């Protein structure tokens, strides 16, 4: 009984490749099942990440491109600089006022009247134009700063826009104070004619 016949040996040899094929098929099925399970886990992780990103987008205020508010902030700062100097328009208006003063002043006018007509009026015109530019800088800068509260409260402004707008407001206030001081002769008042 210990010896096998040739038929039994041949049957065992024929069954062995079939068994190996069955084992390989089971291994392939297991690996496929584990890959599918891994994909399901990856899909769940991706879905969780997307949900978290959506929640973060909803929680954070939307940032606007800020093209118009940025441009307005730069305009405000530029108007503030012009308000400090009076600009080209102030120079032209002062020269015109000086010419008008020369034409309208009579030779017999007092020295104080001549000084006022030739220099004082042009000085005040320059102060008025500088004050107008400073006031415009102040208004534009203020509008840029308060726009998020009224126009688009859910959109956050870029920090540089706020900084430039604050610069425009500050230059506008300084320019307006200087224009008032120049107009009222607190700074470099006209010399007395006596």
What is the structure's pLDDT at 159? 86
CA 136/CA 130 separation, integer angstroms: 10
- Model confidence, pTM: 0.62
Written as tens digits, the pLDDT of the chain (194 aa) is 556 566 565 556 555 556 566 556 656 566 665 565 555 445 555 556 655 655 555 555 555 567 888 899 999 999 999 999 888 888 898 888 888 888 887 777 787 787 888 788 888 899 999 999 999 999 999 999 888 767 666 777 788 889 999 999 999 999 999 999 988 888 877 777 66
Looking at residue 180, its pLDDT comes to 93
**DSSP β-bridge partners for residue 63:** 156
Residue-level pLDDT at 168: 94
Residue written as token pair 């206030």: 173
The 8-class DSSP code of residue 176 comes to H
What is the per-residue pLDDT for 141?
94
Give the per-residue pLDDT at 41: 47
CA angle 101, 135, 189 (to 5 degrees): 40
Rounded CA gap, 170 and 9, in Å? 103
Taking only Cα atoms into account, the Rg of the chain, rounded to an integer number of angstroms, comes to: 43
CA distance 72 to 69: 5
Helix residue ranges per DSSP H, the chain: 6-59, 67-85, 87-104, 111-115, 121-150, 159-183
């Amino acid at each position: 009984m210990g010896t096998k016949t040739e038929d039994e040996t041949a049957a065992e040899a024929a069954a062995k490749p079939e068994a190996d094929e069955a084992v390989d098929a089971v291994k392939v099925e297991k690996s496929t099942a584990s890959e599918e399970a891994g994909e399901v886990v990856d899909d769940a992780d991706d879905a969780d990440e997307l949900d978290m990103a959506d929640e973060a987008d909803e929680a954070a205020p939307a940032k606007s491109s800020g093209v118009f508010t940025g441009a307005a902030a730069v305009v405000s700062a530029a108007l503030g600089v012009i308000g400090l100097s009076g600009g080209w328009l102030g120079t032209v208006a002062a020269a015109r006022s000086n010419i008008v003063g020369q034409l309208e002043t009579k030779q017999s006018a007092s020295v104080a009247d001549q000084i006022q007509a030739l220099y004082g009026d042009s000085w005040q015109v320059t102060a008025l134009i500088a004050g107008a530019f400073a006031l415009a800088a102040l208004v534009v800068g203020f509008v840029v700063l308060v726009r998020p509260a009224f126009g688009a409260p859910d959109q956050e402004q870029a920090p540089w826009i706020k900084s430039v707008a604050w610069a425009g407001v500050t230059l506008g206030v300084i320019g307006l104070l200087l224009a008032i001081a120049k107009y009222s002769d607190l700074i470099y008042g006209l010399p007395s004619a006596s």
